Amino acid sequence: MEKLHCISGVLQGSPAAALDIAPGDQLVQLNREPVEDIFDYQFLMEDTSVDLLIRKADGGADVSFHVEKEEGEDLGLLFENDFMDSYRSCSNQCIFCFIDQNPPGMRDTLYFKDDDSRLSFLQGNYVTLTNMSDHDVERIIRYRLSPINISFQTTEPELRCKMLHNRFAGKALEKVKRFYDAGITMNGQIVLCKGVNDGEHLDQSIRDLSAYLPNLESVSVVPVGITKHRDGLYPLEPFTAEDAAKILKTVHTWQEKLYAQYGTHFIHASDEFYLLAGEPLPEADTYDGYLQLENGVGMLRLLLDEFSEALEEIRPKRFIFRKREVSVVTGELAYPHIQMLCARLMEKLPKLTIHVYAIRNDFFGEHITVSGLLTGQDIVAQLCGKELGTTMFLPVNILKSGTDLLLDDMRLGELERTLQVKTDIVKSSGRDFVYQICGDFLR
């Protein structure tokens, strides 16, 4: 069946801009081949010489266009759907699924479970491979798409079937061998559940996955997120400080062994395990180039190091010496470190006052301590009447990407009006933290 892709726009100055292509036209073929989705499109347009078959919106005959361009240069066509296809929803019923733990009444998109391999390449999502057909695997290998991010949980087939509640979940791991043999770069993730895939199971998973080095570049170990909305779901318990220490011991033992053999630490525990165990964060070189930042691995170490570098650049004698009072909002997990950073800033700038507030997550429950899952209603409830200064700084991960919308659909403007304070967003870098909070001192 012929598959058409509706064009929503053409970028100015692009190779396609000089062609008679307009919004509403449809892409029929690229280089005389049908286009299934964004994978095909991106691969086929890599050439310096590209042929397009376009079906005009006015109902006329299909029109052929020839384009000469630089290798790898984008054609400049925009489509109504970034995927050029529909999203694939998840076919698993994972015992650790966070979406199943969302309370009712949130926006619809927060209940959609995706497990689409294309999101792995386009947005860095981790996929379980259970929703990936042989055709998908073949295209990834043919197009040399890398890296693919895989959510493993365990390498034991029966246990994986249990954790994903999918009878095909164990067999899906065979795709990893195909990617490895084809030289496809991979990164991995293990969502650790207490009493399920930790202990000896974790040790076995690391042993099995290390066999895919160097094509499997890294694997992160992250704790399951447990909200208070788990009625009727698989019984899960939070990790204790003692549990975290045992997990770190396993990770560190394997890091030493694999670094000696391969020159990479490979397996990495998320920052949360170090904070829970009360152990110091590893040094920067332990993170092998920070391949797992999106999983909270090394995020705090990178923040601390970037902060220290930026702080060294500050020369107080060049500042305008006037008072500045601000506030910083964070989750309970990172609070001790954020408080320490702010103390160092105030020590260097005596007329700078920073109020640091750790927001308790009443919306999801006490076991959710990261800043990225804070809601506007919790911030308002806990900061009303508090000293906030002229500006309240919020971490960038508190907002829906590209918007001013918090997780509970409260907008920044509403937050500002309710608390009667100007808000500003701090990016994830330590340098941005220093220079935004210092504000007028650096002008």
Residue 226, CB-side half-sphere exposure with 13 Å CA sphere:
15
Q: What is the pLDDT of residue 114?
A: 60
Tokens representing 48? 């310096």
pLDDT(321) > 60: no
- Range in 51-65, 110-124, 300-314 the model is least confident about: 110-124
Q: What is the pLDDT of residue 330?
A: 96
Q: Contact 441/349 with Cβ under 8 angstroms?
A: yes
pLDDT(410) > 90: yes
pLDDT(106) > 90: no
The SS3 of residue 344 is: helix
Instruction: For residue 28, give the H/E element and its range.
Output: strand 26-30
pLDDT(119) > 60: no
Q: Contact 182/84 with Cβ under 8 angstroms?
A: no
Concatenated DSSP letters of 274-336:
HHHHTPPPPPGGGGTTTTTGGGTSSHHHHHHHHHHHHHHH--GGGS----EEEEEEEETTTHH
> Could you give the domains of the chain?
5-79 (2.30.42.10), 99-295 (3.80.30.10), 304-442 (3.40.50)
- Residue in 36, 41, 264 with CA at minimum distance from that of residue 133: 36
> Averaged over 274-296, what is the pLDDT?
94
Q: Contact 308/373 with Cβ under 8 angstroms?
A: no
Tokens representing 263? 């020159």
The SS3 of residue 136 is: helix
> Hey, which residues does 330 pair with through a beta bridge?
358
pLDDT(443) > 70: no
Q: In the structure, what pLDDT confidence band is assigned to residue 80 with cuts at 50, 70 and 90?
A: confident
Cα angle 84, 87, 93; round to 5: 165
Q: In the structure, what pLDDT confidence band is assigned to residue 317 with cuts at 50, 70 and 90?
A: low
Q: What is the pLDDT of residue 331?
A: 95
Alpha helices in 128-173 (DSSP H): 134-143, 157-164
Q: What is the pLDDT of residue 432?
A: 92
- Residue in 138, 57, 49, 122 with CA at minimum distance from that of residue 85: 122
- Any residues with CB less than 8 A from the CB of 40 and at least 6 apart, and which? 30, 33, 34, 139
More confidently predicted of 286 and 103? 286
Q: Return mean pLDDT, the chain.
A: 89
What is the tens place of the pLDDT at every residue in 151-173? 999 999 999 999 999 999 999 99
- Residue in 111, 103, 2, 110 with CA at minimum distance from that of residue 55: 2
- Any residues with CB less than 8 A from the CB of 175 and at least 6 apart, and which? 129, 132, 137
If 0-12 CB within 10 Å is exposed, 13-18 middle and 19+ buried, where does residue 144 land? exposed
Q: What is the pLDDT of residue 151?
A: 92
What is the tens place of the pLDDT at every residue in 196-255? 999 999 999 999 999 999 999 999 999 999 999 988 889 999 999 999 999 999 999 999
Give the number of other CB atoms < 10 A from CB of residue 204. Answer: 15
In the chain, the percentage of residues whose pLDDT exceeds 90 is 56
What is the tens place of the pLDDT at every residue in 335-353? 999 999 999 999 988 889 9
Concatenated DSSP letters of 396-432:
GGGB-TTSSBBTTS-BHHHHHHHHTSEEEEE-SSHHH
First to last CA, the chain: 62
How far is Cα 142 from Cα 121, in angstroms, rounded to an integer?
Answer: 15
Backbone angles phi, psi at 149, to 5 degrees: -100, 125
How far is Cα 187 from Cα 147, in angstroms, rounded to an integer?
Answer: 7
How far is Cα 231 from Cα 225, in angstroms, rounded to an integer?
Answer: 15
pLDDT(89) > 70: no
More confidently predicted of 75 and 259? 259
- Range in 61-70, 277-286, 359-368 the model is least confident about: 61-70
Q: In the structure, what pLDDT confidence band is assigned to residue 13 with cuts at 50, 70 and 90?
A: confident
Q: Contact 75/14 with Cβ under 8 angstroms?
A: yes
pLDDT(124) > 70: no
How far is Cα 283 from Cα 290, in angstroms, rounded to an integer?
Answer: 11
The model carries a pTM of 0.85
Concatenated DSSP letters of 352-373:
EEEEEEEEP-TTT-TT---GGG
In the chain, the percentage of residues whose pLDDT exceeds 70 is 92
What is the tens place of the pLDDT at every residue in 358-375? 999 999 999 999 998 999
Strand 77-79 versus strand 5-10 pairing type: antiparallel
